[in-house]
Structures are given as structure tokens and as C-alpha cells.
Amino acid sequence: MQNYTWASKKKPLGERCFNMKKDTLNSLFLRERFVKSLFLLLFIFPLLVTPACMKMDHSKFKMPKIPFITAENIHYTVTKGENEVWIIGDFGSVYYSCNNGVNWEKQNTGTEKHFFNASFLDNQNAWVCGLQGIILHTSNGGKAWEEQKSNTPRHLFSICFTDEKNGWAAGDMGTIICTRDGGATWTPLKKEQDVGYNGVFFTDSLHGWVVGEFGTILYTSDGGKTWKPQLCKDIAPPEDEEATMIMPMPTLYSINFKDKKKGFITGIEGILLVTEDGGMKWKKIPTHTKFSIFRTTFQGEKGWAVGAEGNYLVTSDGGKTWQYVEEAIKMKFWLQGVSFRNDKDGFAVGARGTVVHTEDGGNTWKFLSGISYEMPEFKMPEF
């Protein structure tokens, strides 16, 4: 997996920001090993535990009916209109459904590079970003994707457009790039530095934020020409050098604004920060979980958050309070993307092809793709 363990401590670059190099080299091997492990679990193990003297009823063994849209890691999902939904992930994967997840078609992206994030203005205009600086754009809902020249070899973990012209992307080695012409040209906004930026969000063409390793929160009010650091004291270690080495600033993963004033930042070990003054001040709010939170989304006063090991939280008061809902989504892989089209209908996506769908506001979830530990295929057969 892109193990979403962005380092909190200062590790060598090769071990940080998704452990990208290692994961890229091993992805095909891991996929093969995953399939073999499933085979051993579902077929070989029951044979081994069956007493030799016992006559086996082979009719008890059936091929598992595990749904898969794709077996690749999925990092992002977006819903548009009444029935449209996209999922985006590893090896150039983009899948589209026009009927709210009943059927899916794979869109041709022309690449096998991993996609980590996307920005959809509507159901026609969108951009995706990912491995080795790749950026793709569509103006027809993904019927055709065209690569744009990002002018960086660095991995891009997040992308944000506020309109058809103005967009920003952020990623590895302190990379922030910007376009003013819809992606025809991309320009770097900062010099490289040894820090990974995991999330970027702009509320308009001037005001935006970048978040990342070591508690980084950067703010701009001029479209990215200049950046000012912001600090949340609630996550800062004690003010002495020894304590800072023992308790470094935590990694932050994503940023999302509910409206012009109220925004949220997710982070490692259950960190969730909120601002109610347009980002001038940030404070930590209780989440009742130690699992990392990767993304939030809102519909009115209702909100949802997902993260590591099936981590799932909900709010019904605009994010003032959050409830950690244990085992709401019956899996233990990470969830990285979540999107709701209204306060009832939503999707969440994650590792190993996980796609889950809810029609009751997130109270219950149905697996459209991936593996749940409650599937009957994982129960031991009767002999």
C-alpha cells in the first residue's frame, strides 16, 4: 500500500511521503501476493484442517463471490449530479459510473502511474495528479484524459482548482505549483525543501492553504506568490529542543473548507483541527480515536471522515463534535476518499479496491468492491 504513514520524525527522504519508491517497485508483487493469500485462505486452509478420516462434501466448497471493480488501491472518489460517481487510484485507474455505482466503466488515462488526488469542478471538467508529477485533465467527464506538463518530477499528492483557469498542486520535497490557464502551463511557487506537502485547498483564486509533514500549515492571500506559516498550539510540543526531538510536530494529511470561514485539517493519530475564522486560528477538537484521519466531507451540517484501519467518524452539528463509529464499515484496510452527493447518498474508497456505498447517511454501508471481514466467504465451511 501506499502506507499512509507519512513520517512524523525526520526520516531519510526515501522512507517518507508514502514510502513511494519502495511501494512503486513492490506494487505488482504485492498484488500477486494478495491474490495468492486469498486463494490459500479460502481453499487450501479448509483442506488442511479437515480430519483425514472425515469424508469431505465438496459441494460445500464454492467459488467466493467477492465483488471487485478493481483490486488496485483507490485514493479518491467524487459524486456529481444525481447519479454520477468517479473513483481514482493506482496504475492510472479511473472508473466511472453513470447509475450511482450499479455499473462501472474504466476510463482510458493512457498511463499506469498512480493517481493520488483529483479536483472536479463539475461533471465535465476535472484534473488528477499523482506519481512523478503527472497531471491529467478532462473537459468531457473523462471520455478523454489529456496529460499536462507539470514541469516537476516530484510526486504530487493533492490538487485544487477554484475555476477553469486557476489551480494548484502540492507534493513531495516542498513542491507547490500553480496554473492560471487551466493547466496549459504550470509554474513552481516555492523552492524545494525537505518536507512533504500532503494537502492543498483554496477557497478562491487568492486565499489558500497547504498542509503536510511536521505540522506544516502554510497560508497565502495572494494566490501563492507568498506563503506564511500558521501554528496550531494544540499540536505543538513543549518549547524546548529535547522535547521537540522526542515529540516532533505531527503529520497533517488534508485540508477542506465547509464554507469560507469554517475549515478542517486531518492528521496522524486522530488529529482533527478546525478553524471558524477563515484559517486565522486553528484548534484541535476531540475525535475519540487514535487512528489517522485522511479526509473529511460535508453536506450541510452533516459531515463524515475516514482514515486508517477503517477509521470512520460522523458529525451532525457542522463539525463541532465528532463521533467515532467503530466497525461501521466492516474492514480493516485504510479508507482515503469519501464523497456525498446529499445528506443520504455517499461513497467511501480505500485500499485493495475498497468501494462502499451508503443510502442512509452513513448508518450502514454496502460493499460494491473489496473485502469485508463479514463476508460469508470468510466463514469456515461445515463438514
| CATH number of the domain residue 129 falls in | 2.130.10.10
Question: For residue 199, which of 116, 286, 260, 276 has the smallest C-alpha distance?
Answer: 116
**What is the total count of domains within the chain?**
1
Neighbours of 373 (CB within 10 A): 10
CA dist 158 and 149 (Å) reads: 16
Query: What is the structure's pLDDT at 21?
Result: 37
Report the chain's mean pLDDT, rounded to a whole number. Answer: 85
Band of the pLDDT at 239, cuts 50, 70, 90? low
Decide if pLDDT at 51 tops 60.
no
Range of the domain at 101: 15-42+62-378
Q: Does 347 fall in a domain?
A: yes
Lowest mean pLDDT segment, chosen from 12-16, 106-110, 143-147, 369-373: 12-16
- On whether the CB atoms of residues 336 and 295 are closer than 8 A, the answer is yes
Decide if pLDDT at 186 tops 70.
yes
Band of the pLDDT at 375, cuts 50, 70, 90? confident
Quote the pTM value. Answer: 0.83
3-state SS class at 313: strand
3-state SS class at 298: strand
**Do you know the residue count of the chain?**
383
Decide if pLDDT at 36 tops 60.
no
Q: Render pLDDT for 268-287 as a digit per residue (tens, 0 to 9).
A: 999 999 999 988 899 999 99
Q: Does 55 fall in a domain?
A: no
Q: Does 256 fall in a domain?
A: yes
CA dist 240 and 150 (Å) reads: 40
Q: Does 50 fall in a domain?
A: no
Band of the pLDDT at 66, cuts 50, 70, 90? confident
Q: Does 336 fall in a domain?
A: yes
3-state SS class at 32: helix
Count of CA atoms in the C-beta half-sphere (13 A) of 240: 2
Decide if pLDDT at 1 tops 50.
no
Q: Does 349 fall in a domain?
A: yes
Higher local confidence (pLDDT), 188 or 23:
188
Q: Does 66 fall in a domain?
A: yes
CA dist 128 and 201 (Å) reads: 14
Neighbours of 141 (CB within 10 A): 18
Angle, CA of 129, 131 and 135, to the nearest 5°? 30
Task: Please give the DSSP secondary-structure letter assigned to residue 88.
Answer: E
CA dist 201 and 322 (Å) reads: 22
Decide if pLDDT at 22 tops 90.
no
Decide if pLDDT at 155 tops 90.
yes
Q: Does 134 fall in a domain?
A: yes
3-state SS class at 366: strand
Query: What is the structure's pLDDT at 376?
Result: 67
238, exposed or middle or buried, with CB in 10 Å at 0-12, 13-18, 19+? exposed
